[in-house]
Structure 1
Amino acid sequence: MYFQKTYLLIAAIFLTKQFSAQSIGGTTTGASLYCDSINSGFISLTNFNGAIVHWEMSTNNGQNWTHLLNTTSTQSYNRLKKTTSFRAIVQDGTAQADTSSISTLTVYVAGNAGILTGGGAFCEDAGNGQISLSSAPGPILYWQYSVTNGSNWIKINSTSTPLTYSSITESSLYRVVVKTVDGCPDDTTSTIVFKIQPKTIPGNILNADSVCYGEAGDTLHLSDFSGKLLNWFSSIDNGSNWTQLSDTTTYITYTTVTKSFWYKATVKNGICPMETTTPAIVALYNTNPANAGEDVTITRHEKITLRGSGNGFASWNNPEFLSDRSNFNPTADPMNTTNYVLTLKDLHGCITKDSVTVNVIVPIPTAISPNGDGVNDYFEIDKIDTYPNNSLIIFNRWGKQIFNASPYNNSWNGKSEGGHDLPDDQYYYVFDFGNGEKPVTNYILIKR
């Protein structure tokens, strides 16, 4: 009987504990407000029943929780950068776990006032558009803009987003002042930039002029332009076709002028459209320069007509051997090889020159065949009678004089001074014109 009563008592105590066990999450304390990330402290848990299983934290207002490996009644924090909530999970034995109250550390770090979108680079005018603010920690208090790169700010009494703008014609900064969290100062967003670029101005090309043919080159300058000079171009067909040049500086040098050229430059300022200068023309006054004709060869005492051409008034040098030095086509009869220069001067004062060489030769044979057939029997010098004071000496290959005549009258037919036929061989002569010219020396071959 005694043992039966004892068993019933133990069972009653066990059942009482089983039905009375309950997890109580308890109360957390330590919530606070911080206006920067320099923060630290503890969240404490009291009035709980059971064992602390772990702590949890959330940075998105309880939407998601992160498990923390802490089973003590205090949870530390340090340098939080955003608002963070903490809670504890408590379980008493096998009873269902319970969650504590939540303590929130409200944190606002300056510089997180939201994200602005808009702005950009524009040519002359930004036109019409909007600036939008997103992810702001609180309501908009007002907008601001600056045209002094942030030195001074002008208030815009608008509390809405997006902000509508029209016709921004100078570079500007925009930002928003927003309310953050109660107890922390208002904050300002980062700025967005409206970069307004002046329109492209192509400028003017200086020093273009009309010049004479063959005149030395000069330098063209690009002035009064706004933007970056991209390229120079030239044209030789009055602008129908253009060739890109390698120069990208503000000046370009052209060389000796022999044809008309057009020049232009392209300029571009930032995102603004490219512009092209008005062509500068380097024009020729005289496009038909002096041409003295082709070189020619004549025999002495022969006459030749020079074939000059071009635009302007003609003047030849060496007039003593010309019929008319001011004629484009004078008759020339030089005694020796002569270089004639034709100079032309046009109505603009442009002067061009060209030269022609008249080569003058005296035909002297290098072989005779004195066989009595009447062909090439004599050593004949062309127009021998025009050299009345001439002389001729002939030597054999050993340097022995075999013939001498002064004056010579084209009478030698391969005989010695004694009248005997000389053997076929190569001989040498010295012919002196007798007029101060350098004597002519060469060989003469006898071949019968």
Structure 2
Amino acid sequence: MKALKFTIFTFFICLLSIFHANATHLRAGEITAKRISNTTLTYRVTLTTYTDQINGVQANEGQNFVKFYFGVTGVPLYDVKRKKKFLINASTMCNVYDTTFTFPAQGKYTITCAITNRNANTVNLPGRTDEISFFVETTIVVNGALGLNNTPVLLNIPIDTAGVGKRFIHNPGAFDADGDSLAYRLTIPKRDFGEGSGLGEFITGYKDPASLGQPLLTEDGAGASIFKIDPITGDLIWDAPGKWTTPQYQINVAFIVEEWRKGFDGKYAKIGEITRDMQIIVVETPNNRPVLTVPTQICVEAGQKVEFKVSARDKDNNNLKITTNSGVYNRDASGVNASYVFPLEAKFNPLNATQKSPAEGTFTWETNCKHVRGQAYDVLFKVEDFPGRFAVQLTDTKTVKIKVIPPRPRGLLAKNTERGTELRWQLYPDCNIQDAEIIVYRKEGCSNYIPSQCELGLPASLGFVEVARVSVKDTFFLDNKTQNGKIYSYSIVASLATSDFVSIPSVPSNEACVGSELPQLAPVMTNVSVDKTDAQAGQITVKWTRPLNFDSTSFKGPYQYKLYRATGISGGAFQLISSISTKVNKAADTVFIDKGLNTFQNGYTYKVAFLYEGDKVLAESQAASSVRLTVASDAQKVKLSWQANVPWNNDNRKHRIYREVKGKPGTFNLIAEVGVQAVNTYVYFDDGLDRFPDDGTNTIQLIIDSTYCYKVETVGAYLKLPQLGLLNNLSQVSCGSPIDNTPPCPPNLTSEEINCQTLDRKAICEASSLSNKFKWSTPLSAAGILCRKDIVKYNIYYARYKDEKPTLLASVASPETSYTHVRPLQDGFAGCYYVTAVNVLNIESAPSTMICKDNCPTVELPNTFTPNGDGKNDTFTPMTCTAFIKTISIEIYDRYGTKVYEGTGDNLSWDGKSSNGAELPSGTYYYLAKVLIQRLDKNDETPSTIKGWIELIR
């Protein structure tokens, strides 16, 4: 066939075969529902289907309506119009049908939809699968008490690819906007029970995927093949698909997503379920699946920022792309903006970027009180590899659960007065949540309980009892029901009512103890000092006081101390490390040398309890941690920062800085006394000067990249116990190096030029996307000066048009020196890029040379087509290739000037018929096409007109 060529824009148009009108096409889908009225039982019901775009185009084009059955007696099937359709990829179209329906009364209803027919050659369904109808259903509980309830939405498309012998994981990405609990179970796909019945039946002869093909083994060969779904996470796992008689085959499976709500009585009730029918394509491939690494469950207090890394590796070193789905991004399954979380959605960077293996991305989310709910947020991450044009892409999927809990109350203080015990605390964050309150708890004695990060409420084992509930706007409470002479401790907990109708307690506040005898009855921690820094043989000296002015007539012996230790300087899981029998007048028993520690990597926290009559706890001390020193590289300097969580006050004192003497390991000189005013000023920059000459001047010149070691001695005191004097404690030894502060040299950026004469337009039209590939190198020197080698990452900047300022597109970690920017087919290559280098000090280089790319000005249109129903060249279809096209329209006229066809956008497909459906005779027809192409220069984006003749041959 000859072709007319027009030099206008980068675009190749080929013909797509359109099958007969009753072709089969259904691949997957599900029904979702959402109540949209507070005053009526009105719901918006949505069917989402995924159809075969290769063998069922015409069938899907004709599927403008489907029939819903709402499970209401006397209400017939309901015609529902297609709202929109869009391509998922070259072989799959997504279709959305929705409508509103008002249920006549409260109750349980099953909404169904049946469509003729499924696509062909599904090997785990019986017989000709293109003669089996597609049927999905969703059950909801209609009850005004449930509020504006939503069924879960499934954000991950139900079409996926698996490799023979490779472990396959798919997750639907279910998100419930109401925070209801979700559970998952397998079922069998259904077919229509009878046309017009609204009922379905399980497909007889369905085969479990684990029974298909050979050999029926897991990926590691350790056991029999399995096919299952995790009831909690929703991970659909096939380990592993067997080999079939053909190198490629497809199956259909179904699973149910159950929705459960927790009632005020604490019991869960099922309020609905969705059935998803999905298709899996299995292909023989030598490609190995990539492996994704994500963190375990994360728990944060509302108002805190969630930030973590997601990484992926590929055994074959293929390029990788990490994608992510969740309601926290405020996007629905089609990528359209939604309002699942308010006011700020989460971010993932880089988004939809192709990277070299290993690939990495960063998830961030600024949480707030509106995000608090009983169930964790599921965030789905998926990595896919790019093994080349003729190999099958494989994926790995993992889900991160993010629990957002109420902020804890802070700054609790307790004071004895003549009226009673006065409690004061900081004003709680303005969450603007109805029914939020502060719960006040009290117990006799002090426990110095330190809750873990996500431990909600106070454990009953501590003995706290609730004494009051006040508004979250209060900052004061008077407890006038205490007894003189007793020690009391208080803690407060915030309680927020969430969107899922559950009241969630916060982590408890600090514990505040009061009582005239407290300093005398409780041991007091005084020292946690690091004696030796070592990964295995580290040593810490722990000291505390005896119970001062102890009355042995009131509390009989025998007496003992119990010393507890927790790893880390924030406390946590304390473990008993020593029980020490004592006499209250014996001072030596208040010192303990703790050995065999990893003081190189860890800090440690201690507390001590005093017991009388052998096993009765009189009181516990407050917890005290070791001093933890952090040494970081800085420009021409070394930065020291330190912290400790201790009950005494280290502020308004001079802390001492020691530096190890070069050539004398283990010998340290005092080089400075730092006046500390507050905890955030526990910082010192060593520039080599000795600012404490009393022990001799030891000023040195710091050498770039040389290592220097330090330790810090803190000085503190108990303000209310001056008799204990100053408390000196040493940190562990930590080392670091000064570095240069000059910026890196700009990278040398290169990329292949686009040759419009040799460009493979056929390959472009067959692709689902295009890409710009770049490489760069960092010069050894510039202008006679050596360039820095401490590069940690490279930033890639991009502008769509040449007159726009480039913005950050992606970052890749050093030593990677290449990047591939995957672009939608419509956009093509057009855009400008440059790269910068960033060093360990986060100093960024000047930009590299900017590289700009444009699209080629060539288009080809066919000049004949044969609409004879043989499946070849049946339509004049100029939009089978969307490369570089912004907009397009076409008009076709017969030789008398009568318009016989008109179309725009995706609907450009003339089947040789007139506007009233009559077949037109063979002959020559005139066409006029108007196109707008994506270009590098906005001024070049002007509509162009193509005129020509098309020969219709029957």
TM range, normalised to the smaller chain?
A: under 0.3
Q: TM-score, normalised by structure 1?
A: 0.28
**Highest relative contact order (Cα 8 Å, sep 6+), 1 or 2?**
2
- Structure with bigger strand share is 2
